[in-house]
Amino acid sequence: MASVLAQLEQSGVATWIRESGVLYGYPLILFLHTLGLSTVVGVSAAIDLRLLGVASAIPLASLDRLFGVMWAGFALTAATGVLLFVSDATKHASNPAFFVKLAFVAGGVAALALVRSRVFHGQQRGAVLAAASLGCWLIALTAGRLMAYISEFIS
């Protein structure tokens, strides 16, 4: 496992992201990661608020198109996330906060898919799913933001 991580880290792309120092390298990837995550989490949170009773006059059907926006945001976050991971694979793989973040991102995405199938295209009211979704995103954001502090603390 360690050798795989080291290999990833030594690859051309990873080295370029880590060491090129150009603005369209690491900083741009970080920006796109933030843009993507704020789209998924932000729009998902807005839908969760609607399911919890805020602006309850909005018909759910009118929000259905937003799932495309959220999946696009998620694709951007995931792709840039992979790049950010390989650029520092060993460090991230030894950081418990990283795995907490991944687990709760998975939870948030699962909640999103369930909201669509069971609430938008089903009979469920969705308040519980909405609360779970908000909780998952909050923990994922917290763990992700604290990764740098925790890796510093471990080493």
Partner 1 sequence: MNLAHLHLLLNHVPTIGFGFGIGLLAASLLRESEDLKRASYVVFFGVALVAIPAYLSGNAAEFILKGERELPEGVVAAHQNAAMLALIPMEIVGLMGWLALRRFRTWHQPAVLVLSIAAFLLMARAANIGGQIRHPEILAADSPAYAPAWPSPAAMGAAFVLDNPWVWPICEVLHFVGLCLLFGVTLLVNLRMVGFITGVALAEVNRLLPWAMAGLGINIITGMLFFLAAPEQYTQNSAFVWKMGLVVLGGLSLLYPAMFDQEHASTSDMLDAPLTRKVVAACSLVIWVGVIFFGRFLPYLGME
Catalog residues that contact partner 1 under the rule CB under 8 A: 23, 26-27, 30-31, 34-35, 37-39, 41-46, 49-50, 54-55, 57-59, 61-63, 65-66, 69, 137-138, 141-142, 145-146, 149
Choice between 31 and 99, CB closer to partner 1? 31
Q: How far apart are CA 36 and CA 80, in angstroms?
A: 9
User: At its nearest, how many Å lie between partner 1 and the CB of residue 70?
Assistant: 10
Closest-CA residue to 93 (of 153, 30, 102): 102
Choice between 70 and 86, CB closer to partner 1? 70
Burial 56-71 (b: 16+ CB within 10 A, else e): eeeeeeeeeebbeebb
DSSP conformational letter for 74: H
Q: How many CA atoms lie less than 13 Å away from 19 in the CB half-sphere?
A: 8
User: At its nearest, how many Å lie between partner 1 and the CB of residue 146?
Assistant: 6
User: At its nearest, how many Å lie between partner 1 and the CB of residue 114?
Assistant: 19
Choice between 8 and 105, CB closer to partner 1? 105
User: At its nearest, how many Å lie between partner 1 and the CB of residue 37?
Assistant: 8
Choice between 85 and 137, CB closer to partner 1? 137
Choice between 46 and 110, CB closer to partner 1? 46
Q: How far apart are CA 155 and CA 136, in angstroms?
A: 27
Residue type, 121: H
User: At its nearest, how many Å lie between partner 1 and the CB of residue 53?
Assistant: 11
Helix, strand, coil % over all residues of the chain, rounded to 5: 80, 0, 20
